[in-house]
Chains A and B, each alone.
Chain A
Amino acid sequence: NAGVMQNPRHLVRRRGQEARLRCSPMKGHSHVYWYRQLPEEGLKFMVYLQKENIIDESGMPKERFSAEFPKEGPSILRIQQVVRGDSAAYFCASSLMEISGNTIYFGEGSWLTVV
């Protein structure tokens, strides 16, 4: 059973371009979470999704960032018109169900560098 798969692992974008980060949860998992880790900072929650639904996006910047988890296919975190401050590691995690009683599993992360 493959773990949480994220791609690309490393992505370089020029200021103003778009970045698309993909996350395939573990098989059978329907809950996906995106976190951002800035240099020298802790992991910050961005968004929690279930299939076709955004459950909690309280950590998402109000502009330029969006996320989806369609019925088929991976979850996508999309960053439009990237700026240097978006450079960070973006981690996706999944769980089998609401994680009050379940372990959350993380992917290896996608490292975004904006030049």
Chain B
Amino acid sequence: KQEVTQIPAALSVPEGENLVLNCSFTDSAIYNLQWFRQDPGKGLTSLLLIQSSQREQTSGRLNASLDKSSGRSTLYIAASQPGDSATYLCAVYTGNQFYFGTGTSLTVIP
């Protein structure tokens, strides 16, 4: 069964820092991996989708990489801002469903 782990569980950084969030998964047979953002009491907003054949995707200050063979993905956030404070979730799609990690709670301190 697919298991997704995110490290760290919580992260607090001063504004302006670059940071990396980590995601690992146990079964490399995935179709794609998606990074989401969740604000308290809200739904999930898709940030980046990486197909299994791709190595990385970029959107603005965000860059996500995927190493399927080792079961790892990273989300890089450049020049962090207080508005980036949220929980970041990674999820892998293996067929009929996404398997989610428990998330990294990010706080960017002004």
Instruction: List the interface of chain A (C-beta within 8 A of B).
Output: 4, 6, 33, 35, 41-45, 48, 55-56, 58-59, 91, 93, 99-101, 103-109, 111
Contact B102 A42 (CB under 8 A): yes
Q: What is the number of contacts between chain A and chain B, taking CB atoms within 8 Å?
A: 62
Task: Contacts A35-B100, A44-B100, A109-B42 known; list 12 others, CB within 8 Å.
Answer: A6-B43, A43-B44, A45-B97, A45-B99, A99-B31, A103-B34, A104-B34, A104-B93, A105-B46, A106-B36, A106-B44, A107-B43
Q: Which of A41, A59, A103, A107 contacts B97 (CB 8 A)?
A: A59
Total interface residues on B, CB under 8 Å, equals 24
Which residues of chain B are near A35, meaning CB under 8 Å? 98, 100
Contact A55 B96 (CB under 8 A): yes
Contact A99 B32 (CB under 8 A): yes
Query: What is the chain A residue whose CB lies nearest that of B48?
Result: A103
Contact A42 B103 (CB under 8 A): yes
Which residues of chain B are near A33, meaning CB under 8 Å? 97-98
Contact A48 B34 (CB under 8 A): no
Contact B97 A48 (CB under 8 A): yes
Indicate if B106 sits at the interface (CB-CB under 8 A). no
Can you list 9 A-B pairs with a CB-CB distance of less than 8 A? A33-B97, A35-B98, A41-B102, A42-B103, A43-B44, A43-B89, A48-B96, A100-B93, A108-B43
